[in-house]
Amino acid sequence: METVVTGKGTEVKFGPDLPTVIIAERINPTGRKSLAEELKQGKFDIAREDAIKQTEAGAHIIDINVGAVGVDEVEMLPKAVKIVMEVTNQPLCLDSANPEALKSALEVYPYKALINSVNGKEKSLEEVLPMVKKSGSAVICLTMDEDGIPDNVEKRFEIAEKIIKRAESIGIKKEDLVFDCLVMPNSIDSNAGRITLETQRRVAKEFGVSITGGYSNVSFGMPDRNLLNIHFITMGIISGLCAPITDPLIDNLAEAIKAADFLAGRDPYGMNYISFYRK
């Protein structure tokens, strides 16, 4: 089963047993005051620069999030999409909790997008899934619902199953569902990383779907976050991870992913690994 998204003349495929792809996370004002302030002023210089740098660093998909206090996402997300499309041909991940912002962004994106996201809440299912069906997009599915983020594998799995059933009931194929089993800070709960890995292993095994996740979240509050992020991503690849949402500018991340793919049997004869070092 393969998930496919597209950009201008570009097609990216990912899924179980395929090489890992990177969803680049930097165009997100959360924790980035300079970007948040620029977006409030209606400017996109940082977003444009981030799109270029992340593409050059090997990002396969560029996530765009403009959600900040004082920013009208319905107006600004499609503008950001247009700006980013000027400087990269990579497929885009349209990232907003506001369905109207997603709708407005889809109207200006002429390719197959990855929508971020839908979850197990009835309101989310009712608002986002029909949009996914109509646009032909793929969608990231969060394993949370009205009760929040479960602290156990079983409940997260049940939410994943619920989303799949609802999506399939309106004709959305499983290959267009990309599951985020929710990475939480390990500094707050020492079992957080383990719960995520166990959940995604079960979801991937039972349903054969693609797996993603905001993998940088695991290191929040800890020193040398990049080291933790790299190790958690390689652990995730062994546990079904197909497309981490992370910062492609992290030193040694690309090498670590190529190595993990090879050792996990997702790079036959190490051809991608060897090609990377030949470059």
Report how far residue 182's alpha carbon sits from residue 95's, in angstroms, rounded to the nearest whole number: 15
Give the chain's mean pLDDT. Answer: 97
Tens-digit pLDDT profile for residues 49-62: 999 999 999 999 99
Name the burial class of residue 69, with classes exposed (0-12), middle (13-18) and buried (19+) by CB atoms within 10 angstroms of its CB. Answer: exposed
Chain centre distance of CA 215: 9
Q: Return the CATH number at 25.
A: 3.20.20.20
Place of tokens 């395929």: 18
**Mean pLDDT for the stretch of residues 98-121:** 98
Check residue 279 and give its pLDDT.
77
Domain range for 70: 3-278
- Bridge partners, residue 243, by sequence: 212
Chain centre distance of CA 175: 15
Inform me whether the pLDDT recorded for 36 exceeds 90.
Answer: yes
CA distances 186 to 57, 143, 222, 277, Å, are: 27, 18, 9, 33
- Bridge partners, residue 184, by sequence: none
**Mean pLDDT for the stretch of residues 7-28:** 97
The reply to whether omega before 96 is within 30° of 0 (cis) is no
Among 259, 218, 266, 220, CA closest to 240: 266
CA distances 139 to 16, 81, 179, 252, Å, are: 16, 17, 8, 29
| H or E, element range at 52 | helix 45-56
- For residues 24 and 216, the answer to whether their CB atoms sit within 8 Å is no
Q: How many separate domains does the chain show?
A: 1
Structure tokens, 221 = 């509050």
Tens-digit pLDDT profile for residues 198-232: 999 999 999 999 999 999 999 999 999 999 999 99
Inform me whether the pLDDT recorded for 151 exceeds 80.
Answer: yes
Inform me whether the pLDDT recorded for 141 exceeds 80.
Answer: yes
User: Residue 231 CB: number of other CB atoms within 10 A?
Assistant: 15
